[in-house]
Each structure stands twice: as C-alpha cells, then as structure tokens.
Amino acid sequence: MIEFHRVTKTYKGTRALDEVSFTVPPGTVTGFLGPNGAGKSTAMRILAGLCRPTSGSAIVLGRPYAELERPAYDVGTLLDAGARHPGRSGREVLTLGAMMLGLPRSRVDEVLELVGLTGKEGRQAVGGYSLGMRQRLGIGHALLGRPRALILDEPANGLDPQGIQWMRELLRGLAGSGCAVLLSSHLLHEVEQVADHIVLIGAGRVLAQGTPAELGGGRSLEQTFLDLTSHADRRTA
Ligand SMILES: Nc1ncnc2c1ncn2[C@@H]1O[C@H](COP(=O)(O)OP(=O)(O)OP(=O)(O)O)[C@@H](O)[C@H]1O
C-alpha cells in the first residue's frame, strides 16, 4: 500500500504540493497525471524518501520510506532513467545493484530477460543506450529486489509502441502478483489502458481521482484532463 496523507511541500514561496491525499492499494496500478509542474515528481520523491514533506505524511508499506527496514527490497523506484554511469554496461549496472542487495547473479539474468536487454544489449555501455533502453534498464533496476511497491516516474517515456505494450503487460503482471504500482505519465491513453485508478493533479492539488471510466464520465480522459487542469491555479505558499 502507498498512502499520501495531506502532503504539502513548499519551496521558497512555491507550494509544489497542497494537501495531497490518495492511496494505492496492493494489487493495483494507479496512474498519476498532471501537466508539467503539477507536482508529480515532488510527490514521488517525497514517497521515496528523497525529500521531506513540509507537512503531512507519505507512507509506503506502512511506514515513511526512511523508516523501512529493507527499503531497497521492498520499494522499487524509477525516478530518473538517465542517472546511470554511461561507461557501465546494462548488465554491470544491474550486477552492482544486485550485489548491493545481496542478490545472486542469477537474478541479474532474470531481470535482463524480463526487461528485454539480453545478449548484446546487456553488454553494451549505457552511454550508447536509446532512451527506451534506459527506461527498460531503470525498470529492471527497480525490480531487482522483487518489490511490493513500485514508484515509476514517466516509465513509458521514450518507449516505442512495442515497448509500451510490453510495459503494460509487465505492470499488469506485477499488480496481479500483489504489487502496489504508482506511475506518472503524460501518455493519457496509455494510462487509461493500464491503470485501475487515476489521480489527476494540477498546481499541486488533487483535482480528481477515480477509475478511468469515472474520470472520463462519458468523455475522453484527455478532455477531462484539459478541462480540469486549465482552471487549476497554484495557491501561494
Ligand atoms: N527543488 C526545487 N526547488 C524549487 N522549486 C521546485 C523544486 N522542485 C520542484 N519545484 C517546483 O515545484 C513545482 C512542481 O514540480 P514537479 O517537478 O514536482 O512537477 P511535475 O508534475 O513532476 O512536472 P513535470 O511533468 O514537468 O515533470 C514546480 O513549480 C517546480 O518548479
């Protein structure tokens, strides 16, 4: 379970998040949508313990991230797919990750297979990877420890149609095995296809949440998104 309880974050006069509350139950995928600057990355960074909320609490698997006993196993994160050493191969990146977690090398092979970076692609230096390959590697890194919660910021960014379909099946499979998945995206149609639940934020506030059908209310999700977000103004901190 992932839970946000009235999370507010202010940066020197900017209220990046304003009393944000929602939950992601185990076994479900929640799509986190909002225009540029809405606060999605800030919320995910708080959840992953990378910054503190000004007030409120972000809870993953029952505790704030910083209080988890085995966070690297329990919570998989993809927050910046570009943040990898360019000289290392994909296999080396995952091998280092597996060593840090005390996982056997066989887990690296499993994950390379899972994310479709086998053979030559796994041995290639990350600096030469396409954006889609970096995303696959980042997703693989997040999955190493078989986490029960996944926090994915724009995982579909740079994936081709086959890659997007692969990711959809992967996320549905993970949710099917009980994982709580939170993913942000600008690809509304894609989120509509994969998410059980959608949280729409604008200017730091939750504007709407519900199933894709509830949010669309007979219209396209895109129309709902444009209608709600065009009127959202940030409150001053
Ligand atoms: N470290 C920071 N210092 C100051 N302001 C910040 C910082 N990080 C984010 N912000 C501000 O907080 C607000 C929310 O930004 P955030 O990156 O969370 O949005 P986002 O929804 O992830 O946007 P995008 O879709 O463009 O990635 C923006 O106004 C942004 O400028």
pLDDT tens by residue, 166-224 = 999 999 999 999 999 999 998 888 898 999 999 999 999 999 999 988 887 778 888 88
133 lies in a domain? no
60 lies in a domain? yes
Q: CA-to-CA distance for 172 and 178, rounded, in angstroms?
A: 10
Residue 235 has pLDDT above 70, yes or no: no
ipTM of the complex in this document: 0.96
Q: What is the pLDDT of residue 186?
A: 86
Ligand 1 atom 31, closest CA: 37
Phi, psi angles (nearest 5°) of residue 35 = -70, 175
Residue 165 identity = Q
Ligand 1 neighbourhood includes 209 CB (under 6 angstroms): no
Coil, helix or strand at residue 138:
helix
| 34 C-alpha to ligand 1 centroid (Å) | 12
Q: Are strands 197-202 and 28-33 parallel, antiparallel or unpaired?
A: parallel
> What integer best gives the mean pLDDT of the chain?
91
Question: What CATH number has the domain bearing residue 184?
Answer: 3.40.50.300
Q: What is the pLDDT of residue 221?
A: 83
96 lies in a domain? no
Query: What is the best residue among 40, 188, 206 to mutate for testing ligand 1's pocket, by most ligand atoms within 8 Å of CB?
Result: 40
123 lies in a domain? no
| 93 C-alpha to ligand 1 centroid (Å) | 28
Query: Which value, in Å, is the radius of gyration of the alpha carbons in the chain?
Result: 18
Q: Positive or negative, the Cα torsion across 198, 158, 71, 174?
A: positive
Coil, helix or strand at residue 44:
helix
Domain limits for position 34: 2-84+147-230
Other C-beta atoms lying within 10 Å of the C-beta of residue 120: 7
Total tally of structural domains belonging to the chain: 1
61 lies in a domain? yes
134 lies in a domain? no
Taking alpha carbons only, the member of 200, 210, 190 closest to residue 231 is 200
